[in-house]
Amino acid sequence: MSGSPSSSSGSEEEDEGIDSYRKGGYHAVRIADNFSAGRYIAQKKLGWGQFSTVWLAYDTESSKYVALKIQKSAPQFSQAAIHEIEILSAVAAGDPSNDKCTVRLVDHFKHAGPNGQHLCMVLEFLGDSLLSLIKYNRYKGLEFHRVREISRCILTALDYLHRELRIIHTDLKPENILLCSNINPSKDPIRSGVTPVLERPEGNPNGGVVISSIEKRLKQRAKRAVARISERRIAFELATGEMMFTPKTGQGFSEDEDHLAMMMEFLGKIPRKIATSGARSKEYFDRYGDLKRIRRLKYGSIDRLLVDKYKFSDADAREFAGFLSPMLDFDPDKRPTAQQCLQHPWLNADSETSRLNAGMNDLEIKAKK
C-alpha cells in the first residue's frame, strides 16, 4: 500500500522544485512546523511525488516517529487522497493484529495553508527499501533463507489484499517494498535515539534530503496475475542481485520486442492465441504468433540461466526455477494465486523460519509513481 517512503533510498532523485508551491499545489513545510493542533511536528523531508510531499514527523501524543504525507490542495489531488484513505482504512480494519505485512494508516486530517487546504495522512515510519538491501549486498544476491523470508512477507500481503479485500497493487518492485527499519542503525531516528526537533531551528527553513517519491497505484478488481509476475521478478532480483530481463533497443527492433524475445527464450513460445489477441499484437507478432522483427531465438531455461550465469548448484537452480516458473506462465489464468504460492515447497524448505537481522523480517508494500 502507499505510505512512507524509504528513509535512505533514491537519493539520486532531483527534488520537486518550486514551481508547484502555489495555489492548488504543495504545502511549504519548515522543520518544526506543527500539524493537527500541534500533535505532529515536522523533522525532515523524506520524499515527494506527483501528488504530495512526505515528511518524517514526531507524534507528541504517542512519542513515536511517523511519516506525514501532505497532499497537494487542488481538487483532483484531494479526491485521490480521499480514495487512498478509504483503501488504507480498509486495509487496517481487516488486519487488527497487524500481521499481514501491510502499512498502517495512523491518522488523517486536513491542514489549511497559504496554497489551500491539504489532506494529510499519517503512516507508520519505515526504513530502507529492498533495492537498498540489494545495493548494500553489492548486487551479489541474498542467501536463500532471506529470499524465502522476504517472499513469504510479500505473498502474505498480496494474498490478504487479493483474497480478502479484492485490491491489487500494480507497481510491485524492490524500491517500493520497505523494511521495518534502516540497514544502517545510525540513519534510523528510532534506533539511533535522535532527539526530535520540537522548536524551529535557525538556518535552512526547508532542510531535509529528498530520498524517494511515494504515491498510490492501486486498482481494484484488476487481474491478480500482474502482481504475481511482479513477485517473481522481485524474488529473482533478491536471489541474483540482477533483473531477470534487461532488454535493449537494437538494429531493426525496439526494446519491447527485445523484452518479448528474452521472455520467449527462457519461457518458450507465447501461445498463438495470447500473442495475437492483444490490442497491440499486430505491432510485434505475425498471424502465427512469431515476432516480426526478431526471428532467431536462442532457447534456454531459467534453471540453466541460474547455473550458467549465477553459479547456482543444479539442485538449487531446479528448485528455485520450480517456484518461479508457474508465476511466469504466459496464460494469466494458469498462474498460481498468492495463496497457492505460499504453499510451494521451495518457499517452505527451511526447517525453521529464519529471522532477518536489523528488523528486516517485516516488510511493507508500497507504491509510487
* Residue reference for cell 498510490: 216
Pairwise CA distance, residues 56 & 44, whole Å: 5
Q: Which of 169, 202, 196 is nearest to 365 (CA)?
A: 169
Give the dihedral sign, CA 9/222/155/160: positive
Taking the CB of residue 274, how many other CB atoms lie within 10 A of it? 15
Contact (CB, 8 A) for 210 and 14: yes
**308 labelled catalytic:** no
User: Is 282 a known ligand-binding residue?
Assistant: no
Residue type at position 367: A
H or E element at residue 85: helix 75-93
3-state secondary structure of 275: helix
Residue 168: strand pairing partners:
219
Pairwise CA distance, residues 305 & 301, whole Å: 6
Residue type at position 330: F
3-state secondary structure of 219: strand
Pairwise CA distance, residues 122 & 364, whole Å: 15
Pairwise CA distance, residues 132 & 31, whole Å: 26
What is the secondary structure of 141-156 as a DSSP string? ---HHHHHHHHHHHHH
Number of H helices, E strands in the chain: 10, 10
Phi, psi at 106, each rounded to 5°: -85, -40
Pairwise CA distance, residues 363 & 155, whole Å: 11
Q: Which of 33, 159, 171, 303 is catalytic?
A: 171
Q: Residue ranges for the binding site for ATP?
A: 69
Q: Residue ranges for the binding site?
A: 69
Residue positions annotated with a catalytic role? 171
